[in-house]
Amino acid sequence: MSDSKQSKHIGLFARFLTLWVLLSIIVGIALGNVTPGLFHRLGGMEIAHINLPVALLIWAMILPMLLKIDYSALHEVWDHRRGVGVTVAINWLVKPFSMAALGYLFLRVLFAGWLDAGQIDSYIAGLILLAAAPCTAMVFVWSRLVGGHPQFTLSQVALNDVIMVFAFAPIVGLLLGVASITVPWDTLFLSVLLYIVIPVLLAYVGRKLLLAQNKLDDVLHMMDPVSMAALLMTVVLLFGFQGEQILAQPLVILLLAIPITIQVYFNSMLAYWLNRKLGVAHCVAGPSALIGASNFFELAVAAAIALFGFESGAALATVVGVLVEVPVMLSVVSIVNRSKGWYEQGIVKK
């Protein structure tokens, strides 16, 4: 496929992303209710609490994205230190803790009367997993939609991946412990190894080998459609697993969506405002806000399934995160684009 055709197809996918994801959600819910036995069998295909179909799809989705990350770009972190500092602070010092606080406020206090008391802890665990890791794959789509600085996005994602290797499990363990939720450390560390450490190492080595053979662009062009298809198939699979629950308890879906939506807007706008205060260029502030708000839902869903099971409240909460993520993030993209004049006017006035 030529570069122009490839770019056209990627642009078409990004432009109608909400539609593709919505259709995948509908298909998943329908299949989950029409053929529940199929999804129960797929759910039973696991080793050491790791579901194999989910694992394969997530690898197919994130490996092409990780291959695009040039870890040598880490040296450029200093060039964008203000934007990087804001994003790192939001990702690791604000977002997981604000989500835990919102989960406690809404699910244990405000919405407690409408929820199954036995599932509240599990729902909160799912929200914590959702917020504890910054997005890796979809960030490149969001950044492109706001005209983000490509090297900033690249260096920020590379840095986040490195931090995630060491910080994800301790932060999740801490917040689950604070919420009085038992932490299955062995499964948590196995999830980190399988969904973060191994893919990052494989992508790092694979990128070097492909660059040495001058084949990286060709392989990425070939794998991009695979990654997109894996994303949509993952959504179908996840909503298929939860299809019966979603139709049986639509109110729970709405209640879970509220704190997730609030935390996306809160973290993205906080990052955007801090970047403006620090005089950061809009092409850096845009992706900074989006990276600061979006979630690595692939990891969150896989970890929730591994830690608590397919039919747990945690798994349902992370799947609701998928439902909320795309339309809400696209609205944040719109806010960032429409406010560019206001943002740059504030920079000029300094």
Task: Judge whether 290 and 95 are in contact, CB under 8 Å.
Answer: no
| Residue 12 CB neighbour total at 10 angstroms | 11
Letter string b/e over residues 100-131, b meaning 16 or more CB atoms within 10 A of that residue's CB? bebbbebbbeebeeebeeebbbbbbbbbbbbb
Residue type, 160: N
Instruction: Spell out the per-residue pLDDT of the chain, length 350, in tens.
Output: 333 444 444 455 556 666 777 788 888 888 888 888 887 787 777 776 677 787 788 788 777 777 777 766 666 666 778 888 898 899 889 999 999 999 999 999 999 888 888 888 889 998 998 888 777 667 777 777 888 887 787 778 778 778 887 888 888 888 887 766 666 667 667 777 777 778 878 888 888 888 888 888 788 777 777 777 887 887 788 778 777 777 777 788 889 999 999 999 999 999 999 999 998 889 888 889 988 788 877 778 777 877 777 778 888 888 788 778 778 888 899 899 999 889 888 675 44
Structural domains in the chain, CATH included, are 16-348 (1.20.1530.20)
**Model confidence, pTM:** 0.78
Residue type, 23: L
Tell me, rounded to whole angstroms, the distance of Cα 225 from its chain centroid.
19
